[in-house]
Amino acid sequence: MTHALIDELLAGGPVLTDGGWGTQFLEQSERPVTRTELWNLSHPELVEQVAKSYVDAGSEIILTNTFQANRFALPDAVEQVEAINRAGAQISKRAAGEHTKVFASIGPTNKLLVMGDVDEAELSDVFTEQATALADGGADGIVIETMSDLAEAVIALEAAAATGLPVVVSMTFDTGRQGDRTMMGVTPADAAKALADAGADVIGANCGLGVDRVAPVCEALVQATNLPIWIKANAGAPVLIEREVVYQMTADEFAGHVATLVSAGASFVGGCCGTTPEFISAIDRSLRPG
């Protein structure tokens, strides 16, 4: 049984989420952007502009600027981790207004269990700290995203579920002959079973593959679970132009693939790397023409 909020959101058909945040931050800064999670405390007005741009574009769910706001990723700001996450949720909530929900972002720690970089108890503590602060900041749900290690994803899920909020867990599939494995070799079926058994409310895929290649992953997830499916794909495959990674797919081209994703079973759709508010507006028009 899914969380009541998930059922409420899905009552109106496919739910439109947001797009990439990194590109938006790059446009706001004259210098290379690193660890923008720190901006939640130092430049909250700029973070709120990004969040509001997606609300204005039609997003029914926006995320938070907290993807790597954990003590492993921010070793020089350990004492500020709780405040950074709390502020991230509060900023998105201000931007969201009355009609858009905020699902707070939790990303991987970049520490590998299999390599002994960290143990399960340490991961649990890190994810619990982050999830608790996000819930305290007023998040409506939590999205654990861009995961490649299923064991880490399950630990993050358990920590997030303890808040009582609905939890989405999204893996990144882009490896293997068909591009349907995570970097750690996890298949969509493996992920679906393990995450459903661990209590996820929604499962899905983000980043990795471009929107033109992710439909088979979506179908594989649908075949393996009855849970709603969350898809946030990249704007096609990136190319390197003058040492800069560029996504050349247009917003309308991206939106042209959304009907295929919905037919494949996607319940929540949005964009990841290379997508902007313009992309979300285009998806909105394709989902709700007229």
Instruction: Tell me phi and psi for residue 161, to 5 degrees.
Output: -65, -25
Within a domain: residue 198? yes
Which residues make Cβ contacts (< 8 Å) with residue 189, sequence separation at least 6?
220, 223, 224
Please write the tens of the pLDDT for every residue from 35-50: 899 999 999 999 999 9
The CATH number of whichever domain residue 123 belongs to comes to: 3.20.20.330
Please write the tens of the pLDDT for every residue from 193-238: 999 999 999 999 999 999 999 999 999 999 999 999 999 999 998 8
Within a domain: residue 259? yes
Q: How many domains does the chain have?
A: 1
Under DSSP, is residue 104 helix (H, G, I), strand (E, B) or coil?
Answer: strand
Q: Are strands 229-234 and 266-271 parallel, antiparallel or unpaired?
A: parallel
Within a domain: residue 4? no
Q: Are strands 238-241 and 244-247 parallel, antiparallel or unpaired?
A: antiparallel
Within a domain: residue 133? yes
Please write the tens of the pLDDT for every residue from 69-124: 999 999 999 999 999 999 999 999 999 999 999 999 999 999 999 899 999 999 99
Within a domain: residue 191? yes
273 CB-contact burial (10 Å; exposed 0-12 / middle 13-18 / buried 19+): buried
Within a domain: residue 62? yes
Under DSSP, is residue 84 helix (H, G, I), strand (E, B) or coil?
Answer: helix
Answer whether 33's CB lies under 8 Å from 25's CB: yes
Within a domain: residue 106? yes
pLDDT band at 246 (very low <50, low <70, confident <90, very high): confident
Apex 97 CA angle, 277 and 48, nearest 5: 55
**Interaxial angle between packed helices 44-57 and 81-96, expressed in degrees from 0 to 180 and rounded to the nearest 10:** 40
CA 198/CA 80 separation, integer angstroms: 30
Within a domain: residue 5? no
Whole-structure pTM over 0.85, yes or no?
Answer: yes
Which range marks the domain in which residue 154 is found? 14-287
